């Protein structure tokens, strides 16, 4: 978690997205293709260094985005429910697994 998340929750490498099973059930019931996995929440494009990219991938992350952890931390703090999903628009890896950018079709 980065920056805004720390205002609402103690510093941690992880936060649980509590309603992920409800969202997964919805897409499954509606036959919408999906994958689940760990995501890396970064607060800046400049934190997406090659080293960080490789480390997050080694840690099992399948995506990077900018607000999920902060939103979940705020919802936990305020007693609200978050029902989040991420849509992939750009894949930050080449087919051989090295960092780069290619559009997902």
Number of structural domains the chain divides into: 1
Q: Which residue has the higher pLDDT, 99 or 47?
A: 47
C-alpha pair distances (Å), 17 with each of 37, 101, 104: 11, 27, 25
Q: What is the pTM of this model?
A: 0.69
pLDDT digits (tens, 9 = 90+) for 74-97: 999 999 999 988 776 666 555 555
The b-or-e profile of 33-62 (16+ CB within 10 A means b, else e) is eeeeeebbbbeeeeeeeeeebeebbeeeee
pLDDT digits (tens, 9 = 90+) for 2-16: 455 677 888 888 888
One-character DSSP codes across 35-56: ---EEEE-S-GGG--HHHHHHH
For the residues 33-49, what does the mean pLDDT come to?
Answer: 76
When pLDDT is cut at 50, 70 and 90, the band that residue 101 belongs to is very low
In this predicted structure, what is the pLDDT of residue 26?
A: 93
Lookup: tokens for 89: 């628009």
Q: Which domain holds residue 72?
A: 4-103
CATH number (domain holding residue 55): 3.40.50.1580
In this predicted structure, what is the pLDDT of residue 54?
A: 84
């Amino acid at each position: 978690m980065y920056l805004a998340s720390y205002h609402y929750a103690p510093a941690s490498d992880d936060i649980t997205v509590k309603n992920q099973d409800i969202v997964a059930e919805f897409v499954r019931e509606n036959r919408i293709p999906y994958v689940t996995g760990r995501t890396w929440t970064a607060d800046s494009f400049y934190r997406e260094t090659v080293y960080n990219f490789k480390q997050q991938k080694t840690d099992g992350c399948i995506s990077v985005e900018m607000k999920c952890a902060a939103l979940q931390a705020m919802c936990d703090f305020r007693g609200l429910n978050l029902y989040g999903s991420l849509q992939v628009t750009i894949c930050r890896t080449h087919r051989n697994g090295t960092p780069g950018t290619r559009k997902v079709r």
